[in-house]
Amino acid sequence: MPFSRLGLSPAVLQGVRAAGYTDPTPIQLRAIPLALAGRDIIGCAQTGTGKTAAFALPILTKLAHHGKLRALVLEPTRELAAQVETAFRDYGRFSDLRVAVVYGGVGYGAQEKALREGVDIVVATPGRLLDHMRSGRCRLNHVEVLVLDEADRMLDMGFLPDVKRIIEQCPSHRQTMLFSATIPPEIVTLAQWALKDPETIEIGRRRSPAETVRHALYPVADDQRDELLIELLKRTDFDSVLVFCRTKDRADHVAAMLHRTGHSVAVLHSNRTQSEREHALRGFREGRFEVLVATDIAARGLDVEDISHVINYDMPQHAEDYVHRIGRTGRALATGDAFTIMTAEDKKQVHAIEFFIGQSIPRVKLENFPYKYTTLLDPEAERRMRTMGRRRR
């Protein structure tokens, strides 16, 4: 799912593009539609998951144009507050919305000036915000969206009483989003008091297939893709394998090739009739076919237990599809193998996937396989290209 399908405004999408993001991260995928729908959210997520954009993008979309102070984000430290303010500015640079940051340890002048001139979003640490509230420079009576970011750290730092005082000054009819890496009992109590019918999103706590599955990339020259796939199957002790291809034609090609090499194969794509598809699926489920070759669309919602291996003959088009694909393995036992064939053109996509799943995937070479030359297998060429890339930048 690309950013453009999440319901964000054109101006915000432009900001996202300018930030260089291509695919939403898991927390963004889940939180953005809920936030846009006005739901209260508890997000269990650490920094590094893209949680700032998960709340900032819907806020910018909802506020749309300059007006009153309508969004307040509380942060435990000035560093975080400054970071989050910068993120709002970056994503919102194609709108006329104004954001101010408020934290202690610095003079009041610049913060007072910003508040006086009128802002739509305030990112603040609790103590200094209370100072501005007490002196009447900051009023929260028009706040529509409140974000309590890094709530567990605010608790650790003893800020909860201040946080509560601030929340009491916000209208009770508002949307509240609470983000926290952990949810100790005090945070549960706070959430029960401050949030209404919240939706909980857990990212990174319950381990996803992306974490439990063993990943491997198999770099190879493009014209050795078939050979490598055959060899991989020969050397793998598998129960059932799902092979993913980019197009129907490629899926047909791979199925025919595997059939010729003695595998029992079924193929699943949208050109097949309903009865052909059912036949393929039933046969695969019952173990009559050991390999199922499929395209992404055909495999959506596919419910087959005990797939031991997923092999990406082609790289998925979107990083998110990688997770869907490997989610097919590792379901019951929470283990499994995901092999991905990689050619020189796939490098950008590999980086996108590695970013998306938050880990780098080991590159594996098959021993005694008659590899042809590709820069991917040549560490010296790789190093040269990286240096050239850096120089260009």
Rg (CA), the chain: 25
CB of 353 to ligand AMP, least distance (A): 12
CB of 50 to ligand AMP, least distance (A): 3
CB of 45 to ligand AMP, least distance (A): 7
Which of residues 4, 47, 247, 317 is near ligand AMP by CB under 6 A? 47
| For ligand AMP, the closer CB: 92 or 330 | 92
CB of 30 to ligand AMP, least distance (A): 13
| For ligand AMP, the closer CB: 24 or 76 | 24
Q: Cβ distance 67 to 144 under 8 Å?
A: no
| For ligand AMP, the closer CB: 2 or 67 | 2
Q: Is residue 349 part of the contact set for ligand AMP (CB under 6 A)?
A: no
Q: Is residue 318 part of the contact set for ligand AMP (CB under 6 A)?
A: no
CB of 81 to ligand AMP, least distance (A): 13
Q: DSSP of 21-54, one letter per residue?
A: --S--HHHHHHHHHHHTT--EEEE--TTSSHHHH
Q: Distance (Å, rounded) from C-alpha 284 to C-alpha 129?
A: 61
CB of 157 to ligand AMP, least distance (A): 19
| For ligand AMP, the closer CB: 20 or 136 | 20
Which of residues 8, 44, 52, 326 is near ligand AMP by CB under 6 A? 52
CA 273 to chain centre: 34
With 0-12 / 13-18 / 19 or more C-beta atoms within 10 angstroms meaning exposed / middle / buried, residue 199 is middle
Q: How many helices (H) and strands (E) does the chain have?
A: 17, 13
Q: Cβ distance 232 to 339 under 8 Å?
A: yes
| For ligand AMP, the closer CB: 49 or 240 | 49
CB of 224 to ligand AMP, least distance (A): 32
CB of 3 to ligand AMP, least distance (A): 7
Which of residues 12, 30, 42, 49 is near ligand AMP by CB under 6 A? 49
Which residues, 6 or more positions from 326, have their beta carbon under 8 angstroms from its beta carbon? 209, 210, 213, 215, 310, 336, 338
| For ligand AMP, the closer CB: 352 or 376 | 352
Q: Is residue 50 part of the contact set for ligand AMP (CB under 6 A)?
A: yes
Q: Is residue 43 part of the contact set for ligand AMP (CB under 6 A)?
A: no
Give the sheet arrangement for strand 337-342, strand by strand: 214-219, 337-342, 309-312, 241-245, 291-295, 265-268
Question: Which residue reads 């599955």 in tokens?
Answer: 213
In the region spanning residues 3 to 22, those forming contacts with ligand AMP, defined by CB under 6 A, are: 21
Question: Which residue reads 């509560």 in tokens?
Answer: 164
Distance (Å) of CA 135 to CA 38, 108, 299: 31, 11, 60
- Residue 142 sits at φ, ψ, to 5 deg, of -110, 10
Q: Distance (Å, rounded) from C-alpha 271 to C-alpha 297?
A: 11
DSSP single-letter state for residue 281: H
Q: Is residue 51 part of the contact set for ligand AMP (CB under 6 A)?
A: yes
Q: Is residue 198 part of the contact set for ligand AMP (CB under 6 A)?
A: no
Q: Cβ distance 328 to 307 under 8 Å?
A: yes
CB of 80 to ligand AMP, least distance (A): 9
| For ligand AMP, the closer CB: 28 or 125 | 28
Q: Is residue 25 part of the contact set for ligand AMP (CB under 6 A)?
A: yes
Classify the phi-psi angles of 330: left when phi > 0, otherwise alpha if psi is within -120 to 50, otherwise beta. Answer: left
| For ligand AMP, the closer CB: 104 or 204 | 204
Which residues form the interface with ligand AMP (CB under 6 A)? 21, 23-25, 28, 47-53
